[in-house]
Amino acid sequence: MTMASEQRLRIIIEAVDRASQTISSISRRMYSQFRQLRAQMLLIGGIIVGFAAAAVRAATNQALAIDNLRGSLETMGQRYEDVRTRVDPLIKELDRLSKFNRTDLTEAFTTILNIVGDVDTAMRLLPLAAVVASAFGKPIQDAAKDIGLAIIG
């Protein structure tokens, strides 16, 4: 092998070696970024699953609260479908204005209704229960029960 051939072979080997090092470095960085991306995707997936589970739980709790209200109304000879158009807007508005969610408000309304036995009176007392519960830092269920009992003496 001639000296020029050896020189060309050494240059080619060095170029291949440098290219190999560069490719290896790029590969390591890509693998690291892929691992980071994978970890972030798993975290985002976990968050989405958590939100979905919370939404399902909230919907289930609200459905149970409405079933309880329906049962209370039926024992009073009324139908939920007949009072829903009056009660739902009140609960939605209080949900928007207060710190209580629809489930808590529906349960509190049912509590007051069970005590006073009248939908109109329960509708007037529910906002008061929300205010009292907020002012005293107590659960709205407790405030609803206290107000309902105070009204009936």
pTM for the structure as a whole: 0.68
Q: Pick the closest to residue 105 from 77, 143, 72, 74 (CA basis).
A: 143
- pLDDT tens, N- to C-terminus, the chain (153 residues): 677 677 776 777 776 677 677 777 777 887 778 788 777 877 777 778 777 777 778 778 788 889 899 999 999 999 999 999 999 999 999 999 999 999 999 999 999 999 999 999 999 999 999 999 999 999 999 999 999 999 988
DSSP 31: H
- Which pLDDT score is estimated for 1? 61
CB 67 within 8 A of CB 103: no
- Which pLDDT score is estimated for 62? 84
- Which pLDDT score is estimated for 23? 76
Structure tokens at 106: 């529906």
How many Cβ atoms sit within 10 Å of the Cβ of residue 141? 17
